[in-house]
């Protein structure tokens, strides 16, 4: 019997993923638990294992293609499974859910698919999933709402486009190719005035990470009352200590950065100001004050911004924090972060100064209460003991949810961080 395995919900509310790399080939035998495909989601790159033992009959989708949770991934020929057993197995997997409407469905059209997985009898081995057998006389294209919108914008009749996606789904590339061939809805329409060769725009599909960044930014702005406090702290003493020890730890493969000291300072300050380490539960009318200090680190990667979480920062030494920052940053840039490394953050630090920028207005990683932005360090004239001197100035930008943290607590919180950083010995005394 044949078993259709669909892209599962792997947690954290993920709705879709991009096929990064197929790890198997059509006709290959697989065991239950063998990795089938590497999927890039909006949070991680992860392998999807086979749920069954059998032979792969069909691989749905191409590398680089985006599919939704519930879309078919592979078709497996299960050896030695009788019809009755297959039906019972299918029922246990919540089979036979038909997609007929765009609302609530990632792919729309006339194709019948199973809710989680499907069993197809051997008598259907030769079935053409894109044939008229599964669709009415006038076939309606199988496509996502995004593809339909693109076709409409370009003046393309999507029902006339030949789809190359799973089960004949019309992909964005299909629409663009169709348009390049001069097949638009109306030859005299405004969209045909500019030929594909003369087009002045370049269209690229959004990455999963970029989609999530956009969604989270809007969510944060809509749900939190942002307020930002700007400050500067003189860190010549911190620089002296770091310079003294950085070469020693470099020999051990540890990069001792300013950020390690900042993480420690923030963790200790959060213990003194619980409102900055909390979130608001409006549904139940509660404030949730967290007694653990998991600080997120915003990391700039080629694919976009990701925020791995450094757990229990208050319990780690500065050197341990430095090692963990290095470890998480490397995993983020190579796309190897696990779901656990992205969960349960209580506060976030973003260091934009290493790229460029003195002050910023960081956006809160909702539902957290605050985020600290770290700007570019620079030498500036300062007054020490009533004398003009050269100081090393670190700019800080603290954004808080003003519903949770008042101006007084926010100012005291950032002042505490500044005290730790200006007198770094105090970081080791608490």
What dihedral do alpha carbons 375, 380, 383, 388 form, nearest 10°? 170
Distance CA 71, CA 278 (A): 38
The yes-or-no answer on residue 226 being catalytic is no
The residue among 413, 339, 323 whose CA lies nearest residue 371 is 413
Tokens of 269: 């300050």
Q: What kind and span of H or E run contains 374?
A: strand 370-374
Out of 178, 294, 327, 402, which one is annotated catalytic?
402
Q: Are 173 and 163 in contact (CB under 8 A)?
A: no
Burial 223-239 (b: 16+ CB within 10 A, else e): ebeebbbeebbbbeebb
| Residues forming beta bridges with residue 310, ordered by sequence position | 295
Name the nearest CA neighbour of 56 among 72, 68, 69, 40. Answer: 72
Closest CA to 351 of 314, 391, 394: 394
Q: Report DSSP state, residue 20.
A: E
Measured in degrees and rounded to the nearest 5, phi and psi for residue 364 equal: -60, 140
3-state secondary structure of 27: coil
- Calpha distance 179→181 (Å, rounded): 5
Nearest to 321 by CA among 249, 239, 426: 249
Q: Give the catalytic positions in this structure.
A: 402
């Amino acid at each position: 019997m044949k078993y259709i395995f669909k892209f599962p919900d792997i947690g954290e509310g993920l709705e879709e993923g991009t096929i990064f790399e197929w790890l198997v080939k059509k006709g290959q035998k697989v065991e239950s638990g063998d990795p089938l495909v590497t999927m890039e989601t909006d949070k991680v790159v992860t392998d999807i294992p086979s749920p069954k033992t059998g032979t792969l009959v069909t691989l749905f989708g191409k590398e680089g293609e985006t599919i939704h949770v519930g879309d078919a991934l592979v078709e497996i020929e299960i050896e030695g499974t009788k019809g009755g057993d297959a039906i019972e197995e299918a029922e246990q997997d919540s089979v036979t859910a038909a997609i007929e409407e765009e609302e609530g469905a990632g792919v729309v059209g006339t194709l019948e698919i199973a809710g989680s997985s499907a069993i197809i009898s051997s008598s259907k081995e030769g079935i053409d999933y894109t044939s008229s057998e599964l669709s009415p006389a006038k076939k309606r294209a199988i496509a996502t709402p995004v593809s339909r919108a693109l076709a409409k914008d370009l003046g393309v009749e999507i029902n006339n486009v030949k789809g190359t996606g799973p089960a004949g789904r019309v992909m964005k590339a299909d629409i663009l190719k169709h348009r390049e061939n001069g097949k638009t809805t109306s030859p005299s329409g405004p969209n045909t005035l500019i030929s594909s060769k003369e087009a002045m725009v370049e269209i690229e599909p959004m990455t999963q990470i970029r989609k999530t960044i956009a969604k989270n930014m809007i969510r944060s702005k809509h749900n939190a009352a942002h307020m930002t406090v700007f400050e500067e702290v003189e860190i010549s003493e911190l620089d002296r200590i770091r310079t003294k020890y950085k070469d020693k730890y470099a020999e051990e493969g540890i990069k001792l950065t300013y950020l390690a000291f900042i993480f420690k300072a923030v963790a200790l300050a959060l213990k003194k100001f619980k409102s900055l380490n909390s979130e608001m539960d409006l549904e139940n009318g509660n404030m949730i004050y967290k007694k653990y200090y998991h600080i997120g680190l915003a990391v700039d990667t080629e694919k976009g911004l990701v925020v791995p979480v450094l757990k229990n920062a208050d319990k780690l030494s500065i050197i341990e924090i430095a090692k963990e920052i290095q470890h998480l940053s490397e995993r983020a840039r190579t796309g190897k972060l696990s779901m656990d490394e992205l969960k349960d953050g209580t506060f976030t630090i973003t260091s934009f100064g290493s790229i460029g920028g003195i002050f910023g207005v960081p956006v809160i990683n909702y539902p957290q209460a605050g985020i600290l932005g770290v700007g570019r360090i620079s030498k500036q004239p300062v007054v020490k003991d009533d004398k003009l001197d050269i100081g090393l100035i670190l700019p800080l930008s603290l954004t808080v949810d003003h519903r949770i943290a008042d101006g007084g607590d926010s100012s005291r919180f950032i002042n505490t961080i500044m005290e730790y950083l200006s007198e770094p010995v105090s970081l080791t005394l608490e």
